[in-house]
Amino acid sequence: MMKKAILFAAMLALSSQAQAQNRDAAPAEGIVIRTEGEVRVKPDIATIQAGLVSEGKTAAEALSKNTPALAKLVEAVKAAGVAPADLVTSQVSLIPRMTQPPVTPGPRPPRAATIDGYEARTGLTITMRDLAKAGPLIDALVAAGSNEMSGISFGLADESKAKDAARKKAAEAARARAALYAEALGVKVGDLVSIVEAEAEAVGRASGDMRAFRMAASAAPISVEPGELTVTSSLRTVWRIAP
């Protein structure tokens, strides 16, 4: 019993100490501000998702059509000046095409579905660092035989500068808003107690993403408009109320 009492007292003392530290670090009474900084910048990279779908009666036939066709796509990408590190095979699949026999009247159980062919699918993820070449590359991929494309998205090769600019705006907004509240309520802003960066979202990406679709070889030339990206930073600050 004595040991339990000593243990309980020790736990109580530690809990009281932790509560005291928390009060010192982030007082319950103060000015709590949540702000967000935002900057808009032009993207400098484009990511294109393109691929091939080949069909055949057998798996070997579907693959035999897909492999040389994929080589043509890779040649088109390289001819556009894309570095090997910016070309990634992002999908490889072989899917059977199933046919469900019609249901016949009577007590007979339904017949099982049968395989009437195969579909070989290969996808490429291409990073373009020269945005002016993104549209012509899409045209070249279609001309080379790409019959599936899931879209294009835009981003930043290095988002750190834009992110820091958004952080600075969030910090400036926090100070200004704390001062505004304090003035309106007739108090003074004291010391800054805590800063918590609360990143809710990644860099916004202006995109032309669409549903997967089969592209016609006679499609008109693609015009790519990258627009701008929105880079944000969220901040939570706590300020003391000066006596």
pLDDT in tens, 51-90: 999 999 999 999 999 999 999 999 999 999 999 999 999 8
Least confident interval from 27-36, 38-47, 70-79 = 27-36
How far is C-alpha 213 from the chain's CA centre? 21
Q: 165 falls in which pLDDT band (50, 70, 90)?
A: very high
Pairing of strands 114-128, 188-197: unpaired
Q: Pick the more confident residue, 156 or 102.
A: 156
* C-alpha torsion angle, residues 66, 67, 70, 72 (rounded to 10): -110
Q: 182 falls in which pLDDT band (50, 70, 90)?
A: very high
Yes or no: say if 141 and 150 are a contact pair by the CB < 8 Å rule. no
Which pTM was predicted? Answer: 0.69
Residues recorded for the chain: 243
How far apart, in whole angstroms, are the C-alpha atoms of residue 206 and residue 203?
10
Residue 25: pLDDT above 50? no
Token duo for residue 137: 């590359």
Using a 10 angstrom Cβ sphere, with 0-12 exposed, 13-18 middle and 19 or more buried, the burial of residue 235 is buried
Q: What percent of the chain has pLDDT over 70?
A: 74
Residue 101: pLDDT above 90? no
Domains of the chain: 28-43+157-210+227-243 (3.30.110.170), 45-99+112-155 (3.30.70.2970)
How far apart, in whole angstroms, are the C-alpha atoms of residue 173 and residue 170?
5
pLDDT of residue 149: 87
Q: 114 falls in which pLDDT band (50, 70, 90)?
A: confident
| pLDDT (mean) for 21-49 | 81
pLDDT of residue 199: 67
pLDDT of residue 225: 83
Q: 110 falls in which pLDDT band (50, 70, 90)?
A: low
pLDDT of residue 198: 81
Yes or no: say if 144 and 79 are a contact pair by the CB < 8 Å rule. no
How far is C-alpha 103 from the chain's CA centre? 45
Residue 221: pLDDT above 70? no
pLDDT of residue 174: 96
CA distances from 146 to 11, 25, 113 (A): 67, 59, 30
Cite the beta strand spans of 146-209 per DSSP E.
Answer: 148-155, 188-197
Residue 200: pLDDT above 80? no
How far apart, in whole angstroms, are the C-alpha atoms of residue 23 and residue 17?
10
Yes or no: say if 119 and 61 are a contact pair by the CB < 8 Å rule. no
